[in-house]
Structure 1
Amino acid sequence: MDVQKVFHMNGGHGENSYAQNSSLQKKASDTVKHITLKSLEETYVSMKPKSLGIADLGCSCGQNTLSTIREMVEVVDETTRKLSNIPPEYRIYLNDLPTNDFNAIFKILPDFYTELNNERRIRGHKFDSSVFIAGYPGTFYGRLFPNKCLHFIYSSYSLHWLSRVPPGLYDKQGKSINTGNLYISRSSPVQVSKAYFEQFQEDFSLFLRSRSKELLAGGRMVLILLGRRDRNHVDRGNSFLWELLSRSFATLVSQGEVTQEKVDEYDTHFYAPSRNELEEEVKKETSFEIDRFEMFEIERNSKASMSHGIAVASTVRAIQESMISHHFGEEILDSLFENYGRLVDEEMIIEDIRPVSFIIVLRKL
């Protein structure tokens, strides 16, 4: 399966769209928003460009994308006011795979510009500083932008997605060696975690090399992604959520809705790295210095109108539906994610599921 041609968040604004089911990602990015905005402020103060280039890599679609841009403009505007400087023009590049629903973003841009300009006037913004937003389709595992054209790069919940399913997961006959599992589990052969790690190394090192050419010296990257606590690939965090999705498929197999052979042919292009693995790749690439590196969790909302399991299932469906429906067909989706939400809730009663995330701030040397 060609990930770049198939994988995308659910577009539009329907019940299963990413726009309607990305509150967990929004909550996570808000948790570390102070770090993101402080890094942007420090970048602007140190460089003071007249034209500020910002890229959002893996922007997806929906209000989350534009709310982040609004906050970035606000913090730079406020910084220039304090410094008695004229605000820069803003060059905002929204990047994702070509399959992303960029039209969903473009359709709400006119209202976004109107609201942004009104807010800036209320804040006493007196200068004719323009905000230019453009879509930039393409994989971030490789070059996207001209040399030294960016000051700031932001990527939220995208870099745990690999460029492809690791080829090391298959034997010489093309059959998966990780049968019965979608990701690394306790029953997986040792070669499985090795294959995922090697694909992560290949992808992340290429990402760093590409961005090092596009960022100006002194520019910064803020990367937010899912990870794991230590060297163990299997824990009651992100890997366990994949384990529960595997169990959901097993239920469908037992009910005759899908064949075991079809499930065994399906593997995910995901990897949750450890802190040490990320630090090692940054160190090897040599173009960046780590300004900040923190691990955090998203607190569960006990007052939510829906159960945590349903919220997780809706989020995962909005992300994974394109890949699953391509391989299995759309007819299994409702049953699959009903099972998944129920399993998450059942496990949460036994013991918390605690996936962790990282925020990394890298400064270009």
Structure 2
Amino acid sequence: MEVQNVLHMTPGEGKTSYAMNSEYQKRAIIKAKPIVEEAITDLYCKTVPRSMAIADLGCSSGPNTLLVISEIVEAISLMCQKLGHRSPELQVYLNDLPGNDFNTIFKSIPFFVEKHRTDKENEFGPCFMSGIPGSFYERLFPAETLDFVHSSNSLHYLSQVPHGIENNKGNIYIAATSPPNVPIAYFTQFQMDFTLFLSLRSAELVPGGRMVITILGRRNIDPSSKEHCDSWELLAQSLRDMVYQGLVDEAKLDSFNLPLYSPCLEEVKAVIEEQGSFHLNLLEAFDAEGDTNYDYEKEVEFDDFIKAVSRTVRAVTESMLVSHFGEEILEELFDKYAKYVGQYIGKEKNKYVNLIMSMTKKG
């Protein structure tokens, strides 16, 4: 799988799109809001810049993209009001892989800018926004031009599927039945990718620049623990059923593995310290209840709920599945997946673990 050419969230604003099925990611952004606000206001107070360059890496599309930028703009505006300063000019860069649905983002930018200008009664400083297609495992910006980097729910995606895991048969990620070399290969790939990411961002940030990253992770040191892996195991089981029914070739399943890794706190801290370009100001884990927690007190039909869960997973995996298996399997696959989710609910209370880190570039 050529990740850079294949991976993107499901585009558009239709029923199965990422824009309509990203509530979990929204909850993670909201939970991280205080740390983002602290980092951006601390940066502003220490530098009092006339202009600020801000990059959101792995921005995806839909309402969550501009929600992050809105939080950052609001925090800067409030600090400027408190200090009696004119708002700085903002250059906002929205980055994702080339297959991202940038068109949907661009259509919403005029409304976003006008809303903030109206809300601030024309005290809203100039805000210039642009899309930057490309992998964040490559250089994206000129040296020392960024003041603030943000990334949410993106860095768990790897630059490639780890090498040497052809024996992970019947699985699509690290599972309890995976051979011992599989988690080692995934961790090794994460180490290389995260180290590279830090090095690249260090080159692009000004000295003293700030970076806040939220990533899917885990507290348990065991990478096959149930902290979020159940979603992938239910999807793998759905694919195994289709193999048994003759709808998917077994060799196709055996050669498919997801290009992602959810690290633990210790793994993240070790890479940051070894890479050495950043002061680690904060690193902590927080829980966000997963979409597989059904609230029986809400007036939502159970069948509708599990279909919504299925659409959420489909929105983030569809591009990879279509590239490998073909589009014709999707409806049957996610019908099966929804049934497994229905069986799963009530047996387990699923909480997704997020890791959030706030860093300052050494200068």
Please indicate, yes or no, whether the TM-score normalized by the shorter chain is above 0.5: yes
Instruction: Name 1:115's counterpart in structure 2.
Output: 115
| Residue of structure 2 equivalent to 1:221 | 211
Match runs of 1:98-113 below 5 Å: 98-113=98-113
Residue 326 (structure 1) aligns with: 323
Aligned-residue offset at 1:177 = 1.0
Deviation at 1:347, TM superposition (A): 1.7
Tell me the SS of whatever aligns to 2:226. coil
The one of 137, 141, 145 aligned to 1:149 = 145
1:361: which partner in 2?
A: 358
Deviation of the 1:49 alpha carbon: 1.1
| Cα pair 1:236 1:354 within 8 Å, conserved | no
Report Cα offsets for 1:106-146 as digits up to 9, x if no partner: 1111222221211121xxx546x200000011100121111
Alignment partner of 1:264 is 2:254: yes
CA-to-aligned-CA distance 1:274-309 (integer Å, 9 cap, x gap): 111100000011111111112111134623736554
* Paired residues of 1:236 and 1:355 also in contact (CA < 8 A): no
**1:161 pairs with one of 157, 164, 167:** 157
Residue matched to 1:172 = none
Distance 1:304 1:181, change over 3 A: farther
Decide which of 185, 190, 199 is 2:189's aligned counterpart. Answer: 199
How far apart, in 1, do the equivalents of 2:177 and 2:163 lie? 19
How far did 1:30 drift?
A: 0.7
> CA distance change for structure 1 residues 306 and 11 in 2, over 3 Å: closer, same or farther?
farther
The sequence identity of aligned pairs, in percent, is: 43
Q: 1:239 to 1:328 in 2, by over 3 A?
A: same
Q: Given the alignment of the two structures, is residue 296 of structure 1 paired with residue 293 of structure 2, yes or no?
A: no
- Is the Cα contact below 8 Å between 1:215 and 1:364 reproduced in 2? yes
- Cα deviation, 1:68-121, whole Å, max 9, x if unaligned, reads 212211110110111111110001000000111111111111222221211121
Question: What is aligned with 2:349?
Answer: 352
Matched with 1:23 is 23
- For the 8 Å contact 2:3–2:159, the answer to whether it is kept is yes
State the match for 1:136 in structure 2: 132
Cα contact 2:190–2:261 (8 A) shared by 1: yes
Indicate if the aligned counterparts of 2:33 and 2:71 stay in contact, CA closer than 8 A.
no
Aligned with residue 240 of structure 1, among 203, 208, 230: 230
8 Å CA contact 1:313–1:341 kept in 2: the answer is yes
1:206, CA displacement in angstroms? 0.2
Structure 1 Cα separation of the partners of residues 300 and 206 of structure 2? 46
Could you tell me whether the CA contact under 8 Å between 1:47 and 1:218 is conserved in 2?
Answer: no
Deviations 1:253-288 (A, max 9, x none): 122211211111111101011111100000011111
The Cα shift of 1:230 comes to 2.3
Which residue of the partner structure matches residue 88 of structure 2?
A: 88
Aligned residue type for 2:146:
L
Flag structure 2 segments of 5+ consecutive residues without an equivalent: none
Q: CA deviation at 1:344?
A: 2.2
Partners of 1:165 and 1:7 lie apart in 2 by 12
Relative to structure 1, the CA distance from residue 126 to residue 94 in structure 2 (aligned partners, 3 Å threshold; closer, same or farther) is closer
Between 149-158 and 311-320, report the one with greater CA deviation. 311-320
Contact kept, 8 Å, 1:295 with 1:356, in 2: the verdict is yes
The 8 Å contact of residues 16 and 317 in structure 1, kept in 2 or not, is answered as yes
Change (3 A) 1:57 1:149: same
CA contact (8 A) 2:170 2:254 kept: yes
Which residue of structure 1 aligns with residue 72 of structure 2?
72
Counterpart CA distance in 2 for 1:193 and 1:71 is 36
* Residues in 2 aligned to 1:94 and 1:78: alpha-carbon distance in whole angstroms: 23
Letter in 2 for 1:67: L
CA RMSD of aligned residues (A): 1.4
1:313 aligns with 2:310: yes
Contact 2:59–2:95 (CA under 8 A) maintained in structure 1: yes
1:50 shift after superposition: 0.8
Q: What SS does the aligned partner of 2:345 have? A: helix
Residue of structure 2 equivalent to 1:210 = 200
Kept in 2: contact 1:145–1:214 (CA 8 A): yes
1:231: how far off?
A: 1.6
Q: 1:62 and 1:316 mapped to 2: Cα distance?
A: 16
**CA-to-aligned-CA distance 1:164-206 (integer Å, 9 cap, x gap):** 111122xxxxxx1100000011111111111101110110000
* 1:335 partner letter: E
Structure 2 match to 1:277: 267
Deviates more, 1:307-316 or 1:103-112: 307-316
Counterpart Cα distance in 1 of 2:246 and 2:135: 37
In the alignment, the residues of structure 1 paired with residue 261 and residue 83 of structure 2 have an alpha-carbon distance, to the nearest angstrom, of: 43
Given residue 162 of structure 2, which amino acid in structure 1 is its aligned partner? P
